[in-house]
Amino acid sequence: MKSRPPKWADNFLSWYCREDLLDEIQGDLYELYERESRGSKRAANWQFVWNVIRFFRIKNIKKKKPAPDTNLVTAAMLMNNLLVFIRNFRRNPGHSILSLFGLSIAFACTFLIALWVINEFSFDRFHQDSDRLYKVISHVDANSSIQTEFVAGFNINTESIPEVEEATHISTGSRWPHELCFWPENETGDCVYFNGVYASPSLFSTFSFPIISGDPDPLKDVAQIAISESMAKTLYGEESPLGKIIKIDGTKEVAVAAIFQDIPSQSSITFDFALPFSILKRQWGIDDNALQSQFFNVYLKTSTQMPAGQLSEKLNQPTVIGEEYLANKITYEAVPLTDWHLNNSYENGKSAGGRIEYVRLFILIAMFVLAMAVINFVNLSTAKATLRAKEIGVRKAIGAVKSSLVVQFMSESFMMVIAAFLLGLGWTILILPTFNTIIDDHVTLSLIGGMNIVYLLIFLVTVAVLAGIYPSAVLSSFQSSEIMKGLKNTGGSLNIRKVLMAVQLCLSLGIILFSTVIYFQLDFIKAKNLGFDKENMIRVEPTYNLLKTYDAFKTEALKSGVITNMTVTNANPMVIGSNTIAVDWQGKSPDSQISFQTIGTIHNFPEMFGLEIQEGRDFLPVQQTKDSLASEALISKTAVAFFGFENPIGQKIRIHDYLDCEIVGVVNDFHTSSLKESMQPVIIYRNVITQLSGIYVKYKPGEAEAALKAIAKSYETFEPNTTIKYWFQDETFDSLYKTETIASKLVLAFSGISILIAIIGIVGLATFNTMRKTKEIGVRRVFGASHSESLLVLLKEFVWVSLLAIVVAVPLAWFASQKWLNTYAYRTAMPWMAFLLISALAVVLIVGIIWIQGQKTIATNPTKSLRSE
Amino acid sequence: MKGSYLGELEELILLTVGVLFPDAYGVAVMDELKAQAGRSLNISAVHAVLTRLEEKGYVKSEMGQPTEERGGRRKRIFTLTAAGKNVLEESQALRNQLYAMIPKPAFEFKLT
């Protein structure tokens, strides 16, 4: 075989060389190459390349073509382009509206997701010194695993770190003493619950929570309270609340010293009122020493921005953390506050993401949906191009150069993208309220501002160029002579269209399959037997008074008939939340740091929550008195294994270093946190009623309204000074999986949209395909092909494409969803039946669309289709 | 006018173009130079000189027939012009004249 010189060098030569010199230069080089290559081919190649480089001289280089008589892009031409665009739109409204619709929906999707993502990333960034704020969390090395608590000791001594400017302790919570009821001044009605914090004086200087009026430093360790603007409005209306006296819990008087602006929704620290720690001490009845040993949320502000790792190291110096905590294997870690919202999940002491994973998931989905819409747009416009070939031919014949055609198609693409953008913006505004309900947040268009507008423009231009570059390249390269002769050369672009369609189907299938898995998992969670009863139950927040008169309260409530039972605990068995390692028993190894979940309760807890006593006996139905703190305890099956007892009945354990219990029975395992966690060991011990914090009321199924009324009435009888605060247990359960529920709803919505876009794409291509094959089918029909045979002709092209898409999408979706499922300790089996079904449905859908599209063409009399033209 | 000065390489190539008549083109000129004068030049250098000579009006060129070994590319065939012939003759005459003026004793190399 004759050898050829390196192609790239040759191309380079033809690219730069003056046309009138090219022939002789290239000829000479070929001749030399030919001669050389009889010897070594390598040497010949080198020689050729060298010669090409040597010829690269100013004299030989192409001069820029003289500018044409008219400017390439004139206003008149752009006007003409616009006109042609509108005419095309009108002539082929179906097609154009399809691609416009698809693109605008994808834009709306992208905007919504972008707004949400911007919102997520803007958390805690409104603070003036947000880059110098850190949250301190602590890791406790509990032998087998490291537990991470999002709090740090009150006694953390940050004064010895010169970089730390301010340290702020904030005590937060969702119940007493953080959730307090306040009486509006001018009304005699109910009191209103507000959630507040107890904080160090530096709260308002560390964070940018602007104080509107009053003392700029309201938490100077005296009886003062700072309240939010909306709280002030609720309590005092238009009156100025400054100086008013509020009685906390009816006893501790504090004066309203300041009003601060409502905390923005993008803050991970939220509160309606702020009180100094001195009040907390009085609330809890503890002294300074006891306060020092407590753990709270701790935030640091440094004088300059510094790496969090460096700060963490300083925090773990013995002088800062304290020898005692070090001995207990506690370490502190500083986390930049701005990262906290998205990365607050810890596994074994290591950051394990958190919300950021959902943010990433949705960014990916947005990109997928957008890619699908752009692919649609490209497919439809190149498909349409064959129908516009004549226009291009005429344009070329009367002297349009390639670049002006590129400009034309690019400008069409830009016009479409801008139209789709405006339409998409419209959708976004329409959908935004619904979207906000779904995600339970308030995202607004106002988030787009500043640099984001620039990004938006870049994004639009990118999409327009991406969508326009391929069609314009294909369309403008049509040879006019070929078009005029009727030879349409679209083979190459057809293949690319198929590839693009396969990609699109693949993405769409992937999203649908993934959302199916999420749906199945949520279903699994809802149906999962938690090991205890959670239905038909209301949790009521008791007051101290109510607990003291609990027996009378219970008798009164039971009288109503709809309430069947009642118990009191100090933790919700559904979400116990805190763990304790302060459990001692005989035979405990000294460095064992097993953490247990504990529930303090009264005798009827197992009966009320439907726990099964598997060994030993239930609690005895006698009252627990304060004097006999030696108490009974039930432990879960898992706990038995953790304790290592051969025979747990009768064993003595000591909880929190003061509470001696005897194990009287073993109950079945039950889930005390999200199903992401594995089963935890639980100790249920009896306690004095007045030390407990939640009344659980069971009512007859379907009588929620009546039960609520009855319990509120009894509550009012025994505690006329406060308003009842209650939660339904199943709502609490749902809130455990709030993120998952939101995510599944959104993914479901987006998979619906991806189906829509995919259908638009298939319809568009099928229409085009049918049009192209009208004649072929006509000829086939003439020669006696049956209906179904003709249909097969139309289907053939799509079958392989969809099969390929399924073959690629199913394993990918399988892998991705398996990864997601692995974040749960308890998970559903892979719904492979659903995978199969969905794939089959996809095929049926595609075939169906093509069948409907093709029906008309096949049914037409072939004489008609063959005569057209 | 670029002046009638003729460089040494230019003169050599101009002569070669004459020698190769009627088939003087880039590669042939390069080969001939190598064969006759032992000068190996890069083809691009040959082209550059030929172009220069054409600009000065000493050679003229026309496109020849394409051949297969050149991948279907045509040759540019160079031929001498009258001016080219003149300049060669002039330089030839000048050399002869100068050579004749060299006194005989200058050629007598004796062993000293």
Cβ distance of A30 and B63 shorter than 8 Å: no
Each residue's pLDDT tens digit, A170-227:
988 877 788 888 878 776 667 788 889 999 888 888 898 888 888 888 888 778 899 9
Residues from chain B contacting residue A34 (CB–CB below 8 Å): 69-70
Give yes or no for a contact between A246 and A225, defined as CB atoms under 8 angstroms apart.
yes
Same domain? A577 vs A711: yes
| Domain-located, residue B3 | no
Letter string b/e over residues A444-467, b meaning 16 or more CB atoms within 10 A of that residue's CB:
eeebeeeeeeeeeeebbeebbebb
pLDDT at B1: 40
pLDDT at A134: 92
| pLDDT greater than 60 at residue A66 | no
Cβ distance of A24 and B27 shorter than 8 Å: no
Give every CB contact of residue A452 below 8 A, 6+ residues apart in sequence: A118
Cβ distance of A57 and B44 shorter than 8 Å: yes
Q: How far is B100 from chain A (nearest CA, A)?
A: 42
Q: Which helix (H) or strand (E) holds B13?
A: helix B8-19
The amino acid at residue A755 is I
Cβ distance of A51 and B48 shorter than 8 Å: no
Q: How far is CA A752 from CA A152, A508, B39, B74, in A?
A: 45, 9, 78, 64
| pLDDT greater than 60 at residue A125 | yes
For A51, which of B42, B63, B71 is closest by C-beta distance? Answer: B42
Q: Tell me if the bond preceding A68 is cis, omega within 30° of 0.
A: no
Residues from chain B contacting residue A54 (CB–CB below 8 Å): 42-45
Q: Is B58 on the interface with A (CB under 8 A)?
A: no
pLDDT at A85: 77
| Domain-located, residue B94 | yes
pLDDT at A1: 46
The amino acid at residue A528 is K
Q: How far is CA A699 from CA A601, A608, A731, in A?
A: 19, 11, 15
Q: Which residues on adjacent β-strands are paired with residue A170?
A: A199, A297
Q: How far is CA A181 from CA A72, A484, A544, in A?
A: 74, 84, 14
Tell me the residue range of the domain where B64 lies.
Answer: 8-107
| pLDDT greater than 70 at residue A719 | yes
Residue A143 banded pLDDT, cuts 50, 70, 90: low
The complex scores an ipTM of 0.86
Q: How far is A480 from chain B (nearest CA, A)?
A: 27
| Domain-located, residue A1 | no
| Domain-located, residue B50 | yes
Residues from chain B contacting residue A30 (CB–CB below 8 Å): 69-71, 73
- Counts for chain A of helices (H) and strands (E), in that order: 29, 26
Which stretches of A271-386 are assigned E, i.e. beta strand?
Answer: 273-276, 295-302, 330-336, 346-347, 350-351
Same domain? A244 vs A298: yes
For B47, which of A25, A32, A34 is closest by C-beta distance? Answer: A25
Which stretches of A482-630 are assigned E, i.e. beta strand?
Answer: 537-540, 563-569, 583-585, 597-601, 613-616
Tell me the residue range of the domain where A271 lies.
Answer: 130-340
Give yes or no for a contact between A717 and A709, defined as CB atoms under 8 angstroms apart.
no
Q: How far is A35 from chain B (nearest CA, A)?
A: 9
Q: Percent of chain A beyond pLDDT 70?
A: 93
Give every CB contact of residue A592 below 8 A, 6+ residues apart in sequence: A143
For B42, which of A24, A26, A54 is closest by C-beta distance? Answer: A54
**Residue A830 per-residue DSSP state:** P
| CA–CA gap between residue A278 and residue A283 (Å, rounded) | 9
Residues from chain B contacting residue A32 (CB–CB below 8 Å): 27, 43
Same domain? A141 vs A268: yes
pLDDT at A64: 62
| pLDDT greater than 50 at residue B2 | no
Q: How far is CA A805 from CA A133, A677, A731, A764, in A?
A: 48, 36, 41, 18
**Residue A21 per-residue DSSP state:** H
| Domain-located, residue A67 | no
pLDDT at A834: 85
Residue of A7, A20, A22, A28 for testing the chain B interface, max B β-carbons within 10 Å: A28
Give yes or no for a contact between A33 and A76, defined as CB atoms under 8 angstroms apart.
no
| pLDDT greater than 80 at residue A142 | no
Give every CB contact of residue A135 below 8 A, 6+ residues apart in sequence: A150, A297, A298, A299, A300, A334, A335, A336, A337, A340
Same domain? A441 vs A472: yes
Cβ distance of A28 and B63 shorter than 8 Å: no
- For residue A53, the chain B residue with the least C-alpha distance is B44
pLDDT at A625: 56
pLDDT at A869: 52
Residue of B30, B40, B42, B43 for testing the chain A interface, max A β-carbons within 10 Å: B43
Each residue's pLDDT tens digit, B16-42:
999 988 888 888 999 999 998 888 888
A415 is written with which tokens? Answer: 């016009």
Q: How far is B70 from chain A (nearest CA, A)?
A: 5
Q: Is B25 on the interface with A (CB under 8 A)?
A: yes
Q: Tell me if the bond preceding A681 is cis, omega within 30° of 0.
A: no
Give yes or no for a contact between A436 and A442, defined as CB atoms under 8 angstroms apart.
yes
Residues from chain B contacting residue A57 (CB–CB below 8 Å): 44, 48
| Domain-located, residue A852 | yes
Same domain? A738 vs A862: yes
Each residue's pLDDT tens digit, A159-177:
888 888 888 999 888 777 8
| pLDDT greater than 80 at residue A337 | yes
pTM of structure:
0.71
Give yes or no for a contact between A386 and A479, defined as CB atoms under 8 angstroms apart.
no
Total count of domains within chain A:
5
Contacts by residues B82-91 (CB-CB < 8 Å, ≥ 24 positions apart): B83/B56, B83/B57, B83/B58, B84/B14, B84/B17, B84/B18, B84/B53, B84/B57, B84/B58, B84/B59, B85/B18, B87/B4, B87/B6, B87/B14, B87/B58, B88/B11, B88/B14, B88/B15, B88/B18, B90/B4, B91/B6, B91/B11
Collapsed DSSP state (helix, strand, coil) of residue A99:
helix
Chain A residues touching chain B at CB-CB below 8 Å: 23-32, 34, 51, 54-55, 57, 59
Mean pLDDT of A345-368: 83
Residue B78 banded pLDDT, cuts 50, 70, 90: very high
| CA–CA gap between residue A195 and residue A189 (Å, rounded) | 19
Same domain? A429 vs A391: yes
For A26, which of B48, B51, B73 is closest by C-beta distance? Answer: B73
| Domain-located, residue A834 | yes
**Residue A659 per-residue DSSP state:** E
For B75, which of A24, A51, A55 is closest by C-beta distance? Answer: A24
| Domain-located, residue B2 | no
pLDDT at A216: 85
Mean pLDDT, chain A, rounded, equals 82
Cα–Cα nearest to A136, from A313, A267, A291, A275: A313
- Say which CATH number the domain at B95 has: 1.10.10.10
Q: How far is A483 from chain B (nearest CA, A)?
A: 29
Cβ distance of B73 and A27 shorter than 8 Å: yes
Cβ distance of B70 and A28 shorter than 8 Å: yes
Q: How far is CA A201 from CA A248, A275, A302, A303, A384, in A?
A: 19, 9, 17, 18, 69
Pairing type for strands B76-80 and B59-63 reads: antiparallel
Whats the size of chain A, residue-wise? 869
**Residue A327 per-residue DSSP state:** H
pLDDT at A480: 65
Give yes or no for a contact between B15 and B88, defined as CB atoms under 8 angstroms apart.
yes
Same domain? A241 vs A371: no
The amino acid at residue A844 is V
Q: Percent of chain B beyond pLDDT 70?
A: 95
The amino acid at residue A397 is A
| Domain-located, residue B42 | yes
- The size of the A-B interface in CB pairs under 8 A is 55
Cβ distance of B47 and A28 shorter than 8 Å: yes
| CA–CA gap between residue A203 and residue A224 (Å, rounded) | 14
Cβ distance of A27 and B63 shorter than 8 Å: no
Alpha helices per DSSP H over A783-861: 787-821, 832-859
Q: How far is A64 from chain B (nearest CA, A)?
A: 21
Give yes or no for a contact between A647 and A563, defined as CB atoms under 8 angstroms apart.
no
Same domain? A176 vs A272: yes
State chain B's maximal CA–CA distance in angstroms.
63
Same domain? A292 vs A196: yes
Q: Which residues on adjacent β-strands are paired with residue A615?
A: A666
Same domain? A366 vs A396: yes
Each residue's pLDDT tens digit, A376-427:
887 777 777 666 777 777 877 777 777 777 887 788 888 888 888 899 989 9
Q: Percent of chain A beyond pLDDT 90?
A: 3
For B44, which of A26, A31, A54 is closest by C-beta distance? Answer: A54
Total count of domains within chain B:
1
| CA–CA gap between residue A724 and residue A842 (Å, rounded) | 53
For A28, which of B26, B45, B48 is closest by C-beta distance? Answer: B26
Indicate the burial class of A384 (C-beta count within 10 angstroms; 0-12, 13-18, 19 or more).
Answer: buried
Cβ distance of B43 and A29 shorter than 8 Å: yes
Same domain? A333 vs A421: no
Cβ distance of A51 and B25 shorter than 8 Å: no
Residues from chain A contacting residue B53 (CB–CB below 8 Å): none
Give every CB contact of residue A711 below 8 A, 6+ residues apart in sequence: A538, A540, A557, A563, A697, A724, A726
pLDDT at A491: 45
Q: SS3 letters for A213-266? A: EECCCCCCCCCEEEEEHHHHHHHHCCCCCCCCEEEECCCEEEEEEEEECCCCCC
| CA–CA gap between residue A195 and residue A227 (Å, rounded) | 10
Q: How far is A33 from chain B (nearest CA, A)?
A: 9
Kindly report the number of other CB atoms within 10 A of residue A119's CB atom. Answer: 17
Residues from chain A contacting residue B40 (CB–CB below 8 Å): none
Cβ distance of A27 and B70 shorter than 8 Å: yes
Residue of A13, A22, A31, A50 for testing the chain B interface, max B β-carbons within 10 Å: A31
Q: Is B51 on the interface with A (CB under 8 A)?
A: yes
Mean pLDDT, chain B, rounded, equals 86
| Domain-located, residue A518 | yes
Cβ distance of A24 and B43 shorter than 8 Å: no
- For residue B68, the chain A residue with the least C-alpha distance is A31
| CA–CA gap between residue A133 and residue A250 (Å, rounded) | 36
Q: How far is CA A54 from CA A9, A17, A23, B93, in A?
A: 12, 12, 16, 36
Q: How far is CA A134 from CA A65, A137, A161, A401, in A?
A: 62, 10, 14, 61
Same domain? A482 vs A500: no
